[in-house]
Amino acid sequence: MSSQTTYRELNGVECGKAVRARISAAAAQVHAKRGHAPHLVAVLVGEDPASQTYVASKVKACGEVGFRSTLLKEPADTTEAALLALVDKLNNDPSVDGFIVQLPLPGHINEERVTLAIAPGKDVDGFHPQNLGRMMLGLPGYLPATPNGIVELLKHYEVATEGKHCVVVGRSNIVGTPMGILMSRNTYPGNCTVTIAHSRTKDLPSITRQADILVVAIGKPNFITADRVKQGAVVVDVGIHRLADASRKSGFRLCGDVDFDGVAPKCSWITPVPGGVGPMTVTSLLMNTLKAAQG
């Protein structure tokens, strides 16, 4: 018997389109009811090319669903005090429903201090401890964009999760750790038995091979190879890397934390990079901004 399967794609562009159509309809209602559109502000410090791309796609997505958006570009040498003053201004600006400060920030700025300064009610990234704590307790709040985007993706394609072993590789505050919490909740998608693996995990391949659902957010290009994946697994690739490629006009190509070509034939479902988790992160941000505008 061949171990090849035909895999299906968890397509973030397609899923994002469906979710965004619903957001668009709800945005029109908010607009009609209160006389102005939901308004997202994105703060971008410095000129990191990847961050510029991500923020640009957030601004574009806002336009497509009928939101107002404002992009505030600050120079790379902005001081922490100046950024905190801007956060304070946005916290107190009633015309702003929600805002984000795109990460990473330049080394001289303390990301934690900035995140803590954002008013929880406007924290549409869901990074503030109050929102993370509310998620942990199952209370209403803003869910972190990437984990929530993945949950939406699994829901859209009706991927079964109950009783499955979900292995999350990576324990960051904004992806790995909240992902584990969401997948263990008593709801759909959820009800998984969750393992969080990380850089100190002993014999990681033996753990990832046990995964029915494997979520990879470790930040290493093509880290997960076919020998680390169980036949029939659902694989979600959160990584996004730019590898130099002279044959491309841009000079680079994108790849994830998963060796897609090697791994895909073993999967029941897999996310592509690009076109998988990235667009769902953006969609999730729109969901939170709508929620903020609905009050």
Q: Between 189 and 279, whose beta carbon lies closer to ligand L34?
A: 279
Q: Select the span of 51-59, 80-88, 163-171, 188-196 touching ligand L34 (CB under 6 A).
A: 51-59
Chain CA centroid to CA 231, Å:
26
Six-digit token string for 50? 């990847």
> For the stretch 9-20, what's the b/e string if a residue is b when 16 or more beta carbons lie within 10 angstroms of its beta carbon?
bbbbeebbeebb
Six-digit token string for 75? 């120079």
- Which amino acid type is present at position 187? T
Q: Does residue 102 have an active-site annotation?
A: yes
Looking at residue 265, what DSSP letter applies?
G
Number of amino acids touching ligand L34 (CB under 6 A): 19
Report the site for ligand L34 in 221-250 (rule: CB under 6 A).
240
Q: Between 12 and 190, whose beta carbon lies closer to ligand L34?
A: 12
Q: Does residue 58 have an active-site annotation?
A: yes
- Annotated catalytic residue, options 97, 123, 125, 259: 125
Neighbours of 270 (CB within 10 A): 25
- Is 271 near ligand L34 (CB under 6 A)? no
Q: Select the span of 135-143, 183-191, 200-208, 279-287 touching ligand L34 (CB under 6 A).
A: 279-287
Q: Between 176 and 278, whose beta carbon lies closer to ligand L34?
A: 278
Strands 68-74 and 241-244, bridge-based pairing: unpaired
- Annotated catalytic residue, options 58, 122, 266, 291: 58
- Residue 182: name the closest of 140, 135, 235 by CA: 135
- Minimum Å gap between C-beta 96 and ligand L34 is 15
- Is 103 near ligand L34 (CB under 6 A)? yes
Q: Between 164 and 239, whose beta carbon lies closer to ligand L34?
A: 239
Looking at residue 217, what DSSP letter applies?
-
Residues 6+ apart with CB under 8 A from 141: 120, 126, 130, 131, 134, 135
- Annotated catalytic residue, options 102, 164, 259, 291: 102
Residue from 86, 124, 282, 292 that binds ligand L34 (CB under 6 A)? 282
- Is 275 near ligand L34 (CB under 6 A)? yes
Measured distance CA(90)–CA(92) in Å, rounded: 5
Asked if 199 and 217 count as a contact pair (C-beta separation under 8 A), the reply is no
- Residue 95: name the closest of 127, 69, 118 by CA: 69
- Minimum Å gap between C-beta 237 and ligand L34 is 9
Q: What mask of x and - would describe binding to ligand L34 in positions 144 to 173, judged by CB under 6 A?
A: -x----------------------------
- Provide the residue count of the chain: 295
Q: Does residue 164 have an active-site annotation?
A: no
Q: Catalytic amino acids? A: 58, 102, 125
Residues that bind ligand L34 (CB under 6 A): 50, 53-54, 57, 100-103, 125, 145, 240, 254, 273-275, 278-279, 281-282
